[in-house]
């Protein structure tokens, strides 16, 4: 399978993340400005050197058809290439691959992938799709209801052990408590009993199964490996394989909602990378709900179908374990910065590979799998599934 990324010619040379806040009072532009400042301080790059910008569609700027050019203008960027991606939580990982493609085809030389959303300060989006006609009249509203359906369907097919989801919740919270960027709401430990006793929000989905939407931003700076070395960059991360599928099983009008694009992109991304699952040192998996993490482990191939609960319970998923998962807290224990949420996993992977994991550093963070999920629509499978494999530069 053709994969130019495998040549390690593309490098992530810097990362940035704002503090995640329940309601920041800032605009997405202001949050992006903080990312630009952090990137400049870390890398020494000035705006005049950046000629590409990839960003995500946002809740807070959803009405703006010129979002990427205006954001670039605010950041002082004169651009040869722009990209606004609307695949929800799959967008940040996808934009790394899109930026790499733009650089490799000569459209630009250095890309800022900036994910920013002031979702709670300024909600302006309408993301309901068919929901207004078919499901909202009977009270089914929002992602928790849909993932409640997904959990229920999973339980009809397989054994789901809530202790496994509780283990994810507890371990991710431990990681979050070492992460200064988490939303203050999550700045306290939880126990398995706390998880099991948390109230139902969409039975069988509990409060501590679910993400909380917040404001925040994150980003990475991407260029060629050759240029990075010429700049004297000492730390870099190579994206070496990416696979994505949008509108999985779209022709099926009565789909099994537990089947997702990860059943295709999971095996594919490993083939592109020339790796097997045992080669992965950490998994930063998109976690709007813990059941999504469990399903990804199965469908990406870390374990068999229906084996997710036992795999989680039988695996050390802490930062020093056999397969560290969402070491910085994920989104559920950090907060989901709106449609920039998929960047939480991406940034944590790069941070770990730069050796800056603070009290949660993964030993030998040579490789990472980063995933993204996007678009929950009309009692169907989630739409977008994305998987990115990263390798630590030498």
Domain-wise residue ranges, the chain: 4-125+212-392
Range in 15-29, 113-127, 172-186, 303-317 the model is least confident about: 113-127
**Buried-exposed string 219-247: b where 16+ CB fall within 10 A, e elsewhere:** bbbbbbbeebeeeebebbbbbbbbbbbbe
Mean pLDDT of the 135-163 span:
89
Position 352 pLDDT exceeds 70: yes
Q: How confident is the model at residue 357 (pLDDT cuts 50, 70, 90)?
A: very high
Q: How confident is the model at residue 255 (pLDDT cuts 50, 70, 90)?
A: confident
Position 236 pLDDT exceeds 80: yes
Superfamily name with CATH number, domain 4-125+212-392? Thiolase/Chalcone synthase (3.40.47.10)
Mean pLDDT of the 81-90 span:
96
* Model pTM score: 0.96
Taking the C-alpha atoms of residue 309 and residue 162, their distance in angstroms, rounded to an integer, is: 8
Position 119 pLDDT exceeds 90: no
Position 378 pLDDT exceeds 80: no
Range in 252-256, 299-303, 390-394 the model is least confident about: 252-256
Taking the C-alpha atoms of residue 204 and residue 147, their distance in angstroms, rounded to an integer, is: 9
Tell which residue, 284, 271, 292, has the closest CA to residue 365.
Answer: 284
Mean pLDDT of the 10-20 span:
99
User: What is the pLDDT at residue 32?
Assistant: 98
């Amino acid at each position: 399978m053709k994969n130019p990324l495998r040549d390690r010619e593309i490098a992530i040379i810097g990362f940035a993340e704002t503090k995640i806040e329940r309601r920041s009072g800032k605009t997405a532009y202001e949050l992006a400005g903080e990312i630009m400042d952090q990137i400049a301080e870390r890398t020494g790059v000035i705006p005049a050197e950046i000629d590409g910008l990839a960003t995500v569609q946002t809740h807070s700027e959803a009405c703006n058809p010129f979002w990427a050019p205006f954001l670039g203008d605010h950041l002082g960027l004169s651009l040869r290439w722009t990209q606004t991606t609307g695949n929800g939580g799959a967008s940040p990982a996808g934009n790394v691959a899109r930026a790499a493609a733009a650089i490799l085809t000569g459209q630009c030389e250095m890309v800022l992938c900036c994910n920013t959303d002031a979702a709670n300060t300024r909600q302006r989006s309408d993301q309901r799709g068919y929901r207004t006609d078919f499901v909202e009249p009977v009270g089914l509203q929002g992602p928790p209801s849909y993932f409640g359906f997904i959990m229920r369907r999973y339980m009809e097919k397989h054994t789901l052990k809530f202790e496994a989801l509780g283990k994810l919740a507890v371990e991710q919270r431990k990681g979050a408590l070492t992460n200064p960027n988490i939303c203050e709401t999550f700045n306290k430990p939880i126990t398995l009993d706390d998880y099991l006793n948390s109230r139902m929000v969409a039975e069988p989905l509990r409060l501590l199964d679910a993400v909380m939407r917040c404001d925040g931003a994150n980003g990475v700076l991407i260029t060629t490996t050759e240029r990075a070395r010429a700049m004297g960059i000492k730390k870099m991360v190579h994206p070496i394989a990416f696979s994505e599928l949008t509108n999985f099983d779209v022709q099926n009008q009565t789909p099994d909602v537990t089947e997702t694009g990860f059943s295709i992109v999971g095996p594919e991304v490993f083939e592109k990378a020339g790796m097997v699952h045992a080669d992965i040192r950490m998994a930063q998996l998109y976690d709007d709900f813990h059941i999504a993490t469990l399903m990804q482990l199965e469908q990406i191939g870390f374990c068999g179908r229906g084996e997710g609960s036992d795999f989680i319970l039988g695996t050390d998923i802490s930062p020093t374990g056999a397969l560290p998962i969402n070491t910085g807290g994920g989104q559920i224990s950090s907060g989901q910065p709106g449609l920039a949420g998929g960047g939480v996993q991406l940034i944590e992977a790069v941070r770990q590979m730069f050796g800056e994991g603070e009290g949660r550093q993964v030993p030998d963070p040579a490789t990472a799998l980063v995933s993204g999920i996007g678009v929950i629509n009309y009692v169907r499978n989630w739409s977008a599934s994305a998987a990115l494999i990263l390798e630590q530069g030498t």
